[in-house]
Amino acid sequence: LGDSLVAIESIIAPMAHEKDQNFITEITNVNHERLIGDETHLNQILINLLSNAVKYTQEGGTVCLRFIGLAQHSNQFERIRIEVEDNGYGMSPEFLETIFDSFTRAENSTTNKVQGTGLGMSITKSLVELMGGTIEVESEEGKGTLFRVDLELRIPEEQAQGFFWVQQGIGRILAISYSERGRDAAVHLLEGTGVIVDTAADMHAAEALVQEAANENGYQLLMYKPGKLDQGAIDEAESLRAIINPLDGPAVPVLYVLDNSFDRDEQVELPPRSGVLVHPFFLSTLKQAIEGISGVSNVEAADHDKVLEGKHFLAAEDNLMNASILEELLDMEGATVEIVENGQLCVERFEACEPGEFDAILMDVQMPIMNGHDASSA
């Protein structure tokens, strides 16, 4: 789930940022983030739902992605509920009745086939059912929409738990966040690990907790969620770290938690034994960040530049579902695509095109009439 979340946020967060929207992701009561399932299908489901939410929500609106752990029916499966909610334009009751009907939506979507309604929603429902899940939708015009996907995924037999924290020497963590939601997220994330999590709403409260904990072995990790990661935030954390650290001991690790990568001043350099996490994150992501703190002072934020923006592609794809998803993905990156159904049509279209009309050709391999290999050779 952690890998899926990173992949999805790298696509959706820039889209929401361009419309000045609040993109919020919440993780609640998920006991196992490493599960057995079709990651590609899951990503396609999330991209379809979230891209629609962004598109059909006004500038300055809110789009929320939630991963919610449900009561398990057995110890072999994790039940996950995924919710995508927005406060956008909403849909009428009449529209909702046929939203998952591919035939109706295809007829009504001739000029805009894959905007998350129409074929996009039909595809999403099919993918959910292929994963053995269910999908529901609630919506009200002028108030927004909520999609709810329930999945049951197998838990791998080997799920290492408490040894990591013993190995790292971490028994107590101080989480500092100006938002109650940020503090609660840290507590929920570490439930069941055996690690004590104290929370503070500001640096003044954090200093008081540090003084109190000094008599009980102190803190072995600081998690700080500033409004923006700039030099001022780093100076605050370094002042707190100076109070915690013994003069002859290693500096306590500091992880800066951000709502998104845009909340960071790219010019700022991190002190040694510091790292950055983009909220929200799974427990495995936190563990990886802790392992990665090794004195490196420059942690690069993800590059969200749209390298495909303005590009025009020619694609050969005979599967309607794959073609629709391809068009949606490229549209989200600011690119356009013309899709034909087989290799022969692709060759004919390329031979007839103007010089420089297409920036690249995307070719499926297995197609009727002429396959991708023969078309590429032609």
Whether the per-residue pLDDT at 143 is higher than 60: the answer is: yes
At residue 161, the pLDDT reads 52
At residue 240, the pLDDT reads 92
Is 55 found in the same domain as 113?
yes
Confidence of residue 117 (pLDDT cuts 50, 70, 90): very low
**CA angle, 7 then 41 then 338, to 5°:** 85
| Sequence letter at residue 175 | A
| Stretch among 123-127, 160-164, 215-219 having the lowest mean pLDDT | 160-164
In a domain, 300, yes or no: no
In a domain, 285, yes or no: yes
Average pLDDT, the chain: 83
Confidence of residue 65 (pLDDT cuts 50, 70, 90): very high
Is 22 found in the same domain as 116?
yes
At residue 313, the pLDDT reads 95
Nearest partner of 277 among 291, 267, 86, judged by Cα: 291
Is 75 found in the same domain as 198?
no
Whether the per-residue pLDDT at 365 is higher than 60: the answer is: yes
Are 86 and 61 spatial neighbours (Cβ–Cβ below 8 Å)? yes
At residue 234, the pLDDT reads 94
> DSSP of 218-240, one letter per residue?
--SEEEEE-SSBSHHHHHHHHHH
Whether the per-residue pLDDT at 109 is higher than 50: the answer is: no
What CATH number corresponds to the domain at position 23? 3.30.565.10
In a domain, 135, yes or no: yes
Is 148 found in the same domain as 22?
yes
At residue 301, the pLDDT reads 33
Is 11 found in the same domain as 107?
yes
Structural domains in the chain (count): 3
At residue 86, the pLDDT reads 96
Whether the per-residue pLDDT at 248 is higher than 70: the answer is: no
Is 148 found in the same domain as 172?
no
In a domain, 352, yes or no: yes
What CATH number corresponds to the domain at position 370? 3.40.50.2300
Is 25 found in the same domain as 139?
yes
In a domain, 306, yes or no: no
Whether the per-residue pLDDT at 116 is higher than 50: the answer is: no
What average pLDDT does range 322-328 have in this prediction? 79
d(CA 19, CA 55): 9
Please give the residue that has the higher pLDDT: either 310 or 320: 310
- Compute how many other C-beta atoms are within 10 angstroms of the C-beta atom of residue 261: 20
pTM assigned to the model: 0.51
Confidence of residue 306 (pLDDT cuts 50, 70, 90): low
What average pLDDT does range 97-101 have in this prediction? 82
DSSP H helices in 131-172: 163-168
Q: Which domain holds residue 344?
A: 312-377
In a domain, 159, yes or no: no
At residue 108, the pLDDT reads 38
Is 255 found in the same domain as 234?
yes
* CB contact set of 323 (below 8 Å; sequence gap of 6+): 315, 317, 339
Is 272 found in the same domain as 202?
yes
In a domain, 279, yes or no: yes
Please give the residue that has the higher pLDDT: either 109 or 43: 43
* pLDDT tens, residue by residue, 257-279: 988 767 777 778 888 899 999 87
* CB contact set of 375 (below 8 Å; sequence gap of 6+): 316, 342, 343, 344, 346, 347, 363, 367
Whether the per-residue pLDDT at 330 is higher than 80: the answer is: yes
Whether the per-residue pLDDT at 303 is higher than 70: the answer is: no
Are 90 and 150 spatial neighbours (Cβ–Cβ below 8 Å)? no
Q: Among the three residues 236, 264, 292, which one is the final residue of a domain in this structure? A: 292
Cis before 156 (ω within 30): no
Nearest partner of 234 among 256, 204, 219, judged by Cα: 256
Nearest partner of 85 among 63, 100, 67, judged by Cα: 63
What average pLDDT does range 106-113 have in this prediction? 35
Please give the residue that has the higher pLDDT: either 68 or 102: 68
What average pLDDT does range 295-316 have in this prediction? 61
Q: Among the three residues 292, 327, 351, which one is the final residue of a domain in this structure? A: 292
In a domain, 305, yes or no: no
Is 140 found in the same domain as 18?
yes
User: Residue 280 gets which letter from DSSP?
Assistant: S
What average pLDDT does range 355-368 have in this prediction? 89
Is 147 found in the same domain as 17?
yes
Q: Among the three residues 98, 120, 154, which one is the final residue of a domain in this structure? A: 154
At residue 112, the pLDDT reads 36
β-bridge mates for residue 363, sequence order: 316
Are 154 and 36 spatial neighbours (Cβ–Cβ below 8 Å)? yes
Is 283 found in the same domain as 318?
no
